[in-house]
Every structure is written in C-alpha cells, then in structure tokens.
C-alpha cells in the first residue's frame, strides 16, 4: 500500500517539496505519494486532521504554520522545542511526533556540500527570528570558535543568546557593534532578501576567504551576496542546499533510508549572477 506524505503551507505555488521527495522516493525505491496541501490560514489543524484521517503518514510544514505545528505536536524533539517551531511531523495513531530540520539542513549544506567545517570558525548569524533560532543548536553542536547573533533589535538577539547559553559559547550584538570584527562564515537569516533589501551590515564583517550564505534561494545574486562579493568573500551560496538537505533529513526520519542530495541540489541551483 502506497504511503502518503505532504507539505502544508500557504501559499504553496513556489514549493519544490513534491519534486524533491518524489525524486528521493524513486532513487531509494520507496513506495510513497507526496502532495502539496495549501491550507486556509485559519484551517491548519483541520487540514492536518483530515490528512491523518485519510491515512497520511507525515508532513513537512512551511510558512506560516510552523508555530501552529509546534502547538499541536504531542512529542517534540529537542531541536523543535528550542526552535519553538516545527517543520516536519510524523503520525502514528494519536501521536504527532515533531521535528525541526532547518538548522541541521543548513549545517549539512555548509559542511558536507560546501566544505566549510564550523568547528573553530568565527560565525556570524544575521537575524534573530525563527530561521536563526532553528540554526543555533545545530551550529553550537559543531563547536565554532565564536558564534555571534546580530539583529536590529539587540534585545531580541540577547534573549536568544541567553536561552541557548547552556549549549555553547555565543554572544548577541546589534549591527552597529560589529565594527572591527570579521567572520569566516556569515549567514543571512533575515527576511531582507525576500524584499530585495540589504541587512544593515558592513563589508568588514566578511573575512578574507570567508563563506557568505544566503538562506533565501533561487533569487540569484541578492543584495547581501552582492555586498559580500564586493567585500572579497571567496565563496557565495544560497539556501537551495539547505532546502534539499532538510528534506533529506525528514525523508530519512520517515522512511529509515538516507537519499543522496547532490543531483537534486544541482537540478535546483540557480546561478548566482
């Protein structure tokens, strides 16, 4: 019997999840069907319950429902609990197990695909919203030499630094306080690029030979990546690898088999130009 999975969000016209998981299923010989469910903004729980009642085994969760998925989960992983958000669910009877693979997908892309080990590196994370929150635990697990969270509202960054202080060394900063500091890896986890804008960061944060990583994907050379390029960053990347890697984590969690990600990343990559 074919197992059913889906991605749920609103809007979903842009989603690559059915393409990714369909490819993973064919490559690993898994008998599954994967669809997209664009739930009404006020109908998330009803849509999830209907999918479960119809035999659904699991779901990926995207904007704007990650917080609502957190609320309906009966079992939360530590990553999901600390992120305060859920991007994957697994159903078993009345149980709703929940995970957040966004951060581990980002770490996998940076380390495995781009060849930048985080251990001993100076890392700057721009933004203190949900994307940044989901990345903190996986980042700290890799033992960077320094992890700095920078945000327009430094109090919000400080709240995150305090919450995650027991998991490793990190500090909070406002953008103005970054003067005189440079980093080996700079990750833009703000929403600025989605609006074609630039976070208020100076070129000096990009150390010689650094990696500049843009969480947004498929947008080419965003203002953030253009700034990094002009500052001499040696490596530029967008979030397509993170997208595929987090999908692979969910697929393995559901099916017990790890799909190869290289071909799908190559297929979805848009030139940074």
Q: Which amino acids are annotated catalytic?
A: 66
The count of other CB atoms within 10 Å of the CB of residue 235 is 15
- Environment class of residue 208 by beta-carbon count within 10 Å: exposed (0-12), middle (13-18) or buried (19+)? exposed
Q: Which of 72, 65, 66 is nearest to 85 (CA)?
A: 66
Nearest-10 crossing angle of helices 17-28, 240-255: 50
Token reading at 225: 């990546």
Query: Do strands 146-151 and 171-174 pair parallel, antiparallel, or not at all (unpaired)?
Result: parallel
Query: Do strands 56-61 and 88-92 pair parallel, antiparallel, or not at all (unpaired)?
Result: antiparallel
């Amino acid at each position: 019997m074919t197992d059913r999975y889906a991605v749920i969000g609103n809007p979903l016209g842009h989603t690559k999840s059915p393409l990714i998981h369909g490819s993973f299923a064919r490559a690993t010989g898994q008998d599954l069907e994967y669809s997209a469910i664009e739930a009404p903004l006020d109908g998330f729980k009803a849509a999830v319950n209907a999918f479960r009642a119809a035999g659904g085994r699991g779901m990926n969760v995207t904007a704007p429902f990650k917080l609502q998925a957190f609320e309906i989960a009966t079992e939360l992983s530590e990553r999901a609990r600390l992120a305060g958000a859920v991007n994957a669910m697994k159903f078993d009877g009345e149980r709703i197990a929940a995970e957040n693979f966004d951060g581990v997908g980002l770490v996998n892309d940076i380390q495995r695909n781009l060849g930048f080990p985080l251990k001993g590196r100076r890392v700057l994370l721009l933004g203190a919203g949900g994307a940044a929150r989901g990345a903190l635990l996986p980042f700290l697990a890799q033992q960077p030499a320094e992890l700095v969270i920078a945000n327009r509202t430094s109090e919000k960054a400080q709240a995150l630094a305090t919450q995650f202080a027991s998991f490793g060394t990190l500090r909070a900063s406002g953008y103005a306080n970054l003067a005189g500091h440079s980093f080996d890896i700079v990750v833009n986890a703000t929403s600025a690029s989605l609006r074609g804008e630039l976070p208020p960061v100076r070129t000096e944060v990009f150390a010689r030979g650094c990696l500049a990583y843009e969480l947004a994907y498929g947008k080419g050379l965003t203002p953030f990546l253009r700034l990094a390029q002009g500052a001499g960053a040696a490596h530029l990347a967008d979030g397509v690898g993170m997208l595929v890697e987090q999908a692979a984590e969910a697929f393995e969690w559901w099916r017990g088999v790890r799909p190869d990600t290289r071909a799908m990343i190559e297929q979805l990559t848009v030139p940074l130009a």
